[in-house]
């Protein structure tokens, strides 16, 4: 593929801006400056370097972000900073989108991608991808409440009760709750329907992929093939 097209595809700007970057000698291909925008490059094992930063060529990007509390998942955030501000410019330019959302006050694993088919697969209600949340509740969680969550609770505007796939006690006020759907405020509404209240919520797993313990709040990383395979396993 032509270097100019590669640069554009990787989110380094419009055609003109990319051409200028190359002509000005700002672009290295596998460690060597290339000043010809039309140079043909093999994308199979390609690393671009711009401003001293390495960027491996990726046809599509898949990201795991540890969302901190106090961030909105929309690009045009209304009342809080946007999670998009936590990502570098080329990823925003590529048009990454969140794969499902977390509330402003929720934390944990947020997937993002620029692969439309992937986003659809992981957000389609039909697919029922498992998600696990560590839920800190206001009140001690009773056995009756756990049983209610597992049996199914009726939420407003839902035709039938919704049951948790799993509900494991962690401590008096804390549970790990597994759900298959991704409805609006689902965990908060389920806990309210069971007679408790969510104090804080952290998504710890999607499919078979867990939030990495070394990924701090506000940090992100690429999902590699092994991570994507884990993601595809049912939780
Ligand atoms: N359920 C909620 O209530 N909020 C979230 O952010 C995610 C799941």
Residue 44: predicted pLDDT:
93
Of 14, 39, 56, the residue that ends a domain is: 56
Q: Tell whether 202 and 103 lie within a shared domain.
A: no
Q: Tell whether 121 and 222 lie within a shared domain.
A: yes
Query: Nearest to residue 173, comparing CAs of 208, 197, 206?
Result: 197
Ligand 1 near 102 CB (within 6 A): yes
What is the DSSP code string of 158-169?
Answer: -SS-B--SEEEE
CB environment 46-77: b (16+ within 10 A), e (fewer): bebbeeeeebebbeebbbbbbbbbebbbeeee
Q: How far apart (Å, rounded) are the C-alpha atoms in residues 184 and 192?
A: 14
Residue 222: predicted pLDDT:
98
Q: Is the pLDDT of residue 58 over 80?
A: yes
Q: Which of 42, 103, 157, 225 is catalytic?
A: 103
Q: Is the pLDDT of residue 226 over 70?
A: yes
Given a contact cutoff of 8 angstroms between Cβ atoms, the answer to whether 74 and 100 are in contact is: no
Pocket test for ligand 1, best of 175, 176, 188 (most atoms within 8 A of CB): 188
Pocket test for ligand 1, best of 178, 187, 200 (most atoms within 8 A of CB): 187
CATH number reported for the structural domain that contains residue 84 in this entry: 3.30.70.580
Ligand 1 near 103 CB (within 6 A): yes
What is the mean predicted confidence (pLDDT) over 1-16? 97
Q: What is the pLDDT of residues 101-144, one digit of tens each?
A: 999 999 999 999 999 999 999 998 888 899 999 999 999 999 99
Residue 127: predicted pLDDT:
83
Taking CA atoms only, the protein residue closest to ligand 1 atom 3 is 185
182: DSSP letter: -
Residue 67: predicted pLDDT:
98
pLDDT above 70 as % of the chain: 100
Would you say the C-alpha torsion 120, 121, 122, 126 has a positive or negative sign?
positive
**Residue 171: how many other CB atoms lie within 10 Å:** 9
Query: Average per-residue pLDDT in the chain?
Result: 96
Q: What is the pLDDT of residues 153-207, one digit of tens each?
A: 999 889 999 999 999 999 999 999 999 999 999 999 999 999 999 999 999 999 9
Has 157 been annotated as catalytic? Answer: no
Q: Is the pLDDT of residue 235 over 80?
A: no
Domain residue limits at 162: 130-206
Q: Tell whether 46 and 113 lie within a shared domain.
A: no
Given a contact cutoff of 8 angstroms between Cβ atoms, the answer to whether 146 and 175 are in contact is: yes
Query: Nearest to residue 47, comparing CAs of 36, 37, 34, 35?
Result: 34
Q: What is the pLDDT of residues 42-56, one digit of tens each?
A: 999 999 999 899 999
How many independent structural domains does the chain possess?
3
Residue spans of alpha helices (H) in the chain = 3-9, 15-23, 89-93, 116-123, 143-151, 186-193, 225-232
- How many A from CA of 200 to the centre of ligand 1? 10
Q: Is the pLDDT of residue 24 over 80?
A: yes
Tokens of 175: 């549970």
């Amino acid at each position: 593929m032509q270097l100019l097209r590669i640069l554009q595809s990787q989110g380094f700007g419009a055609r003109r801006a990319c051409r200028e970057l190359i002509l000005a000698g700002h672009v290295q291909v596998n460690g060597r400056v290339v000043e010809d925008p039309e140079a043909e490059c093999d994308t199979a094992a390609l690393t671009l370097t711009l401003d001293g930063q390495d960027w491996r060529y990726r046809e599509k990007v898949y990201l795991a972000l540890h969302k901190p509390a106090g961030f909105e998942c929309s690009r045009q955030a209304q009342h809080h900073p946007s999670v998009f501000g936590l990502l570098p410019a080329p990823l925003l330019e590529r048009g990454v989108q969140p794969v499902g959302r977390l509330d402003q006050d929720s934390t944990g694993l947020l997937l993002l991608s620029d692969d439309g088919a992937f986003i659809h697969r992981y957000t389609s209600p039909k697919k029922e991808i498992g998600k696990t949340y560590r839920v800190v509740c206001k009140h001690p969680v009773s056995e009756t409440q756990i049983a209610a969550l597992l049996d199914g609770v009726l939420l407003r505007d839902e035709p039938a009760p919704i049951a948790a796939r799993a509900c494991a006690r962690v401590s008096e006020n804390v549970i790990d709750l597994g759900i298959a759907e991704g409805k609006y405020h689902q965990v908060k509404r389920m806990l309210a329907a069971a007679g408790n209240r969510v104090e804080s919520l952290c998504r710890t797993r999607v499919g078979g992929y867990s939030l990495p313990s070394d990924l701090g709040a506000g940090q992100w990383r690429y999902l590699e093939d092994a991570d994507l395979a884990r993601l595809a396993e049912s939780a």
